[in-house]
Chains A and B, each alone.
Chain A
Amino acid sequence: MPADFPLSLLLACAAVLLALGSAGSALGTGRVPGAKILMFLLLGGAGAAAVSAGLLALASPDAAVGELPLGLPWLPWRLRLDALAGFFLLVIGLVVMAVAVYGPGYVRDFEHGQDPLPVLGAFTGLFVVGMLLVVLADDAFLFMVAWELMSLSSYFLVAFQHEQAANRRAAFLYLLMAHVGALSILLGYGVLAAFGGGFAFDAMRAAQLSPLWGSVAFGLAFVGFGMKAGLVPMHAWLPEAHPAAPSHISALMSGVMLKVAVYGFIRFTFDLVGQLQWQWGVVVLVVGSLSALMGVLYALMQHDLKRLLAYHSVENIGIIFIGLGLGLVFLATGHPTAGVLGLIAALYHTLNHALFKSLLFLGAGAILHATHERDLERMGGLLRRMPWTGLFFLVGCISISALPPFNGFVSEWLTFQTALQSWLLEGGVLRSLIPIAAAVLALTGALAAACFVKVYGVAFLGRARSRRVRRARPVSRGMRLGQGFLATLCLLAGVFPTTLLQWLNAVPGQLLGRGLSEATAHGWLWLTPIAPQTASYSAPVVLLALALVWWLSATLLRRGRVRAVRRCDPWGCGFGSGLPGPRMQYTATAFAQPIRRVFGLLFHVDERVERDDAGLRHQLHVADRAWELFYAPVVRWVQAAARQVGRLQSGHIRVYLGWSLGTLLVLLWLIS
């Protein structure tokens, strides 16, 4: 490695090498004692190196550039670590660290099972290498190679438990969609490269595109990255693939890999394309709002915990894209402050989603580890069996439901503030559309809260609905530590938004030439995105006041002699003396029933009550409308096309040779 690399880039390269080393040492697990620990140690080291590289990059005023002695002769692989890449390195690193702490306890299940641990570890390492390299790439070639590395290694991770047919199907669907998306991204880069005269990002930045070609490039990139990020209606692979992987991998996929797609979109749109157009912003805004709403509504209908969380990723990616869309609209119409605010809100939510979604997936993994149960309908009362996991999961639930004073609220608040700047805009239609998008965001937030009341109430509160859950044991210390790390970060990111924003400011500062100077101008206590008189929020004071009122009401408002609470039976409506059984509790499906009914139009609900000898049987099947509206026609079209092509298949070998001859002749004629 060349010695003239700046420190931040050296650290980033060290992260890549450590992750590679982790993949290598994974091959020894099961044979060499201690290889498992080494594998996770190296992975954690990679995470720590990525975090420190990211922090250095955010702190330094300009980008670090380096060239690797690899790649094509005329296009050596170039690395570039600017603030945007640094921020995403930070996000990847934090989650990888948590996963590395959590992993050893979780994979204990696989050590004696039939699924090979070396495969899991090796592909995990390669997966992390791929993600790190995507962020570091400074030319389209390395970007696409790293992108494919990321996609393929995660394909093997999704297919890891391949004995189940559903997992194989999910993995294939994932592979298919990933490659359609990659093709679209490649074409998008192709357009830029054609105008810029090279695949290096510097050349693309310098390119001058006509509005039409710019829009074509943008559209291709949006489809490609949107497919990877799981925007509606290209999300269908996501709720299939993410739950299929082992839980710590789900955390990486949902928490980080989707963010890499967001990175790609930001890099492409805000950095490479050049001249922005407000119509793009409207498209992104509409698709983002749709994803947010549909994601949360479908999540509400799920009772498989990991599937539910995967659908919530669709929702949160939607929220991120709402922020990006707002940023695009404002930047393209010449309102840089509001535009930067939109970008910052999106970045903030990116970090937040990485933290709390990984936390929730790790929590779901802990439940799976302790009870071998993913179905909410069989859980209940887990808080008393697994108090620490319960506490951390609660933090995750509050954060994702966007409640103060945790981190999800801050980013949604920033997004709302961006939307409220719509009075700046000229066009009345835009001005009325943007607040409607904000209303959709509000609806999404409220529905997410409903969904997580359901999840937490059914899984952790109440009483156990099955025997295995009743006998759940707390998970190992490492697994708790991994969750606790993320939960603490969730709280910190919620309580000290201004400090975090100071770091984040470097990203638009380098990308667009300006940050939000006003936002952090009033001290760490005050978050004032536009101006103090427009809006301000002081999370530390809010937290302090909450704690103070709690303490006061707990100490002052007691009267009388009886201080301790007395335990008793719950109200059984006067029936019998004993407790009403656990089956009397509201189930996850029952909880969501009113919402299913109100938004029934958006689902494909198949509900039947059948009467047979054993009594009544109630069947409910809720399906994703995207399948019938979007995928079924595509499948039909592809099949029809395949039938047309199939006519070529006559079965006679000489006919095939004839086709080859014809093709050869045409090609020769073309190049002559």
Chain B
Amino acid sequence: MNLMQLTLLEQAVFVLAALVLFLSFAMLAQARLLAGIHVFAWQGAVLAAATGLVAAGGAPHLFISAALTLALKALLIPWMLHRLVRRLELERHVEPLQHPALVLMAGAGLVIFSYWVVVPIERLELVTTRNILSLSLAVVLIGLLIMVTRRQAVTQVIGFMSMENGLFLAAVAATHGMPLVVELGVAFDVLVAAVLFGVFFLHINESIESLDVDRLNRLSAREDDT
């Protein structure tokens, strides 16, 4: 496929999709908690812009999704996380990665892997779609990688949310969005999840005085005594 055959609008969608992937990497490498939240907010904003561009390209119902994404993922959820972090006094929390280079290269490996996985899906009519699909799969996988490599509960939530961003990107690119009802439902789910996470954090923090998930490895209170 040649990029020259696409309209400028589609090219812009490509660039934004690539930026979403890049922001996933930025989240993966980010040691500071607050900065991580900001990167997540930016990812939401770029995603919203990509959705808006797709909408402008002939799928007007996606404007609603774009607005929703912007409101929810770029503003509301980051704001909630931000407030949570302030309440838990984690503003200056830094969690450096053990081997940042290794983790980043693993992320790059995931990109190649997801491309390799998606290549056989020849039946999709548009090659465009498949290419963005592989990016979104990579975003999902990197989100999972963030959750694997991080110990901080808040960072894990960010990883989880960015996985959702990847799924959303796939939906927008592959099928010009899901039905509005589904989308609304998913958006609401994410919001509820964010609220629930917030509540959980408070409880975890109260009970173990930390958000380090590595300390949640004891299965019962009994073992705690031994």
Is there a contact between chains A and B in the complex with CB atoms less than 8 Å apart? Answer: yes
**Chain A residues proximal to chain B, CB less than 8 Å:** 427-429, 432-433, 601
Give residues of chain B (57-113) contacting chain A, Cβ–Cβ below 8 Å: 99, 102, 112
Determine the distance from Cα of A432 to Cα of B116 in the docked complex, in whole angstroms: 10
Does B25 lie at the interface of the complex (its beta carbon under 8 Å from any beta carbon of A)? no
Determine the distance from Cα of A433 to Cα of B109 in the docked complex, in whole angstroms: 10
Does B115 lie at the interface of the complex (its beta carbon under 8 Å from any beta carbon of A)? yes
Does B119 lie at the interface of the complex (its beta carbon under 8 Å from any beta carbon of A)? yes
Q: Scoring B residues 113 to 127 as 1 if CB is less than 8 Å from chain A, else 0, what string do you get?
A: 001100100000000
Q: Can you spell out 9 A-B residue pairs with CB atoms less than 8 angstroms apart? A: A427-B119, A428-B116, A429-B112, A429-B115, A429-B119, A432-B115, A433-B112, A601-B99, A601-B102
Nearest Cβ in chain B — how far from A91, in angstroms? 36
| Contact for B119 among A428, A433, A601, CB less than 8 A | A428
Q: Which residues of A contact B112 (CB under 8 A)?
A: 429, 432-433
Determine the distance from Cα of A429 to Cα of B120 in the docked complex, in whole angstroms: 12
Determine the distance from Cα of A469 to Cα of B116 in the docked complex, in whole angstroms: 58
Nearest Cβ in chain A — how far from B109, in angstroms? 10
Nearest Cβ in chain B — how far from A83, in angstroms? 38
| Chain B contact surface mostly | helix
Q: Which residues of B contact A429 (CB under 8 A)?
A: 112, 115-116, 119
The 3 A-B pairs with the shortest beta carbon distances in the complex, nearest first, are A429-B116, A432-B112, A428-B115
Nearest Cβ in chain A — how far from B127, in angstroms? 11
Determine the distance from Cα of A433 to Cα of B119 in the docked complex, in whole angstroms: 15
Determine the distance from Cα of A432 to Cα of B113 in the docked complex, in whole angstroms: 11
Nearest Cβ in chain B — how far from A418, in angstroms? 20
**Chain B residues proximal to chain A, CB less than 8 Å:** 99, 102, 112, 115-116, 119
Nearest Cβ in chain B — how far from A142, in angstroms? 45
Can you name the residue of chain B whose Cβ is closest to the Cβ of A599?
B101
Q: Which residues of A contact B119 (CB under 8 A)?
A: 427-429
Nearest Cβ in chain A — how far from B108, in angstroms? 8
Determine the distance from Cα of A429 to Cα of B115 in the docked complex, in whole angstroms: 7
Determine the distance from Cα of A432 to Cα of B112 in the docked complex, in whole angstroms: 8
Determine the distance from Cα of A428 to Cα of B119 in the docked complex, in whole angstroms: 8
Q: Which residues of A contact B115 (CB under 8 A)?
A: 428-429, 432
Q: Which residues of B contact A601 (CB under 8 A)?
A: 99, 102
Determine the distance from Cα of A429 to Cα of B99 in the docked complex, in whole angstroms: 25
Determine the distance from Cα of A601 to Cα of B100 in the docked complex, in whole angstroms: 11
Nearest Cβ in chain A — how far from B121, in angstroms? 13
Can you name the residue of chain A whose Cβ is closest to the Cβ of B131?
A428
Nearest Cβ in chain A — how far from B199, in angstroms? 39
Determine the distance from Cα of A433 to Cα of B99 in the docked complex, in whole angstroms: 22
Can you name the residue of chain B whose Cβ is closest to the Cβ of A427?
B119
Determine the distance from Cα of A428 to Cα of B116 in the docked complex, in whole angstroms: 7
Q: Which residues of B contact A432 (CB under 8 A)?
A: 112, 115
Q: Which residues of A contact B99 (CB under 8 A)?
A: 601
Determine the distance from Cα of A601 to Cα of B97 in the docked complex, in whole angstroms: 14
Q: Which residues of A contact B102 (CB under 8 A)?
A: 601
11 further contact pairs, Cβ within 8 A, besides A429-B112, A432-B115? A427-B119, A428-B115, A428-B116, A428-B119, A429-B115, A429-B116, A429-B119, A432-B112, A433-B112, A601-B99, A601-B102
Nearest Cβ in chain B — how far from A604, in angstroms? 16
Can you name the residue of chain B whose Cβ is closest to the Cβ of A432?
B112
Nearest Cβ in chain B — how far from A193, in angstroms? 38
Determine the distance from Cα of A483 to Cα of B99 in the docked complex, in whole angstroms: 44
Determine the distance from Cα of A363 to Cα of B80 in the docked complex, in whole angstroms: 67
Q: Which residues of B contact A428 (CB under 8 A)?
A: 115-116, 119
Can you name the residue of chain B whose Cβ is closest to the Cβ of A600?
B99
Q: Which residues of A contact B116 (CB under 8 A)?
A: 428-429
Determine the distance from Cα of A205 to Cα of B99 in the docked complex, in whole angstroms: 49
Can you name the residue of chain A whose Cβ is closest to the Cβ of B102?
A601
Determine the distance from Cα of A427 to Cα of B112 in the docked complex, in whole angstroms: 12
Determine the distance from Cα of A429 to Cα of B108 in the docked complex, in whole angstroms: 12
Determine the distance from Cα of A169 to Cα of B13 in the docked complex, in whole angstroms: 63
Determine the distance from Cα of A428 to Cα of B1 in the docked complex, in whole angstroms: 12
Q: Which residues of B contact A433 (CB under 8 A)?
A: 112
Determine the distance from Cα of A522 to Cα of B132 in the docked complex, in whole angstroms: 43
Can you name the residue of chain A whose Cβ is closest to the Cβ of B116?
A429
Q: Which residues of B contact A427 (CB under 8 A)?
A: 119
Nearest Cβ in chain A — how far from B135, in angstroms? 13
Q: Which of B99, B102, B116 has the most CB of A within 10 A?
A: B116
Determine the distance from Cα of A427 to Cα of B116 in the docked complex, in whole angstroms: 9
Nearest Cβ in chain A — how far from B100, in angstroms? 11
Can you name the residue of chain A whose Cβ is closest to the Cβ of B109?
A436
Determine the distance from Cα of A432 to Cα of B111 in the docked complex, in whole angstroms: 10
Can you name the residue of chain A whose Cβ is closest to the Cβ of B118?
A428
Nearest Cβ in chain B — how far from A312, in angstroms? 24
Determine the distance from Cα of A432 to Cα of B119 in the docked complex, in whole angstroms: 13
Nearest Cβ in chain A — how far from B48, in angstroms? 29
Nearest Cβ in chain B — how far from A34, in angstroms? 61
Nearest Cβ in chain A — how far from B61, in angstroms? 33
Determine the distance from Cα of A429 to Cα of B112 in the docked complex, in whole angstroms: 6
Nearest Cβ in chain B — how far from A168, in angstroms? 39
Can you name the residue of chain A whose Cβ is closest to the Cβ of B98?
A601
Can you name the residue of chain B whose Cβ is closest to the Cβ of A429?
B116
Determine the distance from Cα of A428 to Cα of B115 in the docked complex, in whole angstroms: 8
Can you name the residue of chain A whose Cβ is closest to the Cβ of B119?
A428
Nearest Cβ in chain A — how far from B118, in angstroms? 9
Determine the distance from Cα of A432 to Cα of B99 in the docked complex, in whole angstroms: 24
